C-alpha cells in the first residue's frame, strides 16, 4: 500500500523559510513522479513544484520560482520542498503526491492536471505578515 507522509509545516513570518519533507513507501520509487501541491482556504488546489524521479528534472509554478526548491533523496525515498522568502500568499495546506508516470512529459502533464494517484494528508503552512 502506497503511503506518503508529509512533515515540516508550521507558522513563520514573511521572509522566513521552511522545509517540507515527504516520505514515500510502498511503491517503486525509482520510477516516480513526485510533486507538491497546495490549497489555500476557499481556493482550488494548485501545483507548486514537481520532480521526475529518474532524471531529477524539476518544474515549478511561476509564483514560487527562485524561492522554492524541490529535491529528492532516493536512498531515503524522500522528497523535500525548501521554501525561502515566504510570503503570506504562500499560506495553505501543502500536499505531497506521487504517480508512476510513463516518462517526464507524462509526469509534467499529470502535474498540470493534478492527476496523481497517491496523495498525502497534507501539512499546514502559515505565513504571517
Confidence (pLDDT) at 31: 52
pLDDT at site 56: 86
What is the per-residue pLDDT across 22-35, written as a single tens digit (0 to 9) for each?
999 887 655 579 99
Q: What is the pLDDT of residues 109-124, one digit of tens each?
A: 999 999 999 999 999 9
How confident is the model over 2-24, as a mean pLDDT? 96
Coil, helix or strand for 31? helix
C-alpha distances (whole Å) from 8 to each of 28, 71, 80, 109, 110 are: 24, 15, 10, 27, 25
Question: pLDDT band at residue 2, thresholds of 50, 70 and 90?
Answer: confident
Q: What is the mean pLDDT of residues 105-112?
A: 95
Cα gap 91→21, rounded to integer Å:
17
pLDDT one-digit tens code per residue, 41-96: 999 999 999 999 888 899 999 999 999 999 998 889 899 999 999 999 999 999 99
| pLDDT for position 29 | 59
Amino acid at each position: 500500500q502506497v503511503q506518503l507522509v508529509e512533515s515540516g509545516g508550521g507558522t513563520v513570518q514573511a521572509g522566513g523559510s521552511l522545509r517540507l519533507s515527504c516520505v514515500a513507501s510502498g511503491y517503486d520509487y525509482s520510477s516516480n513522479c513526485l510533486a507538491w501541491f497546495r490549497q489555500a482556504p476557499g481556493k482550488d488546489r494548485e501545483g507548486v513544484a514537481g520532480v521526475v524521479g529518474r532524471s531529477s528534472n524539476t518544474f515549478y509554478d511561476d509564483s514560487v520560482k527562485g524561492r522554492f526548491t524541490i529535491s529528492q533523496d532516493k536512498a531515503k525515498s524522500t522528497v523535500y520542498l525548501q521554501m525561502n522568502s515566504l510570503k503570506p500568499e504562500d499560506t495553505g495546506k501543502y500536499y505531497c503526491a506521487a504517480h508512476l508516470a510513463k516518462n517526464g512529459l507524462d509526469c509534467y502533464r499529470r502535474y498540470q492536471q493534478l492527476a496523481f494517484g497517491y496523495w498525502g494528508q497534507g501539512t499546514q503552512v502559515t505565513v504571517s505578515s
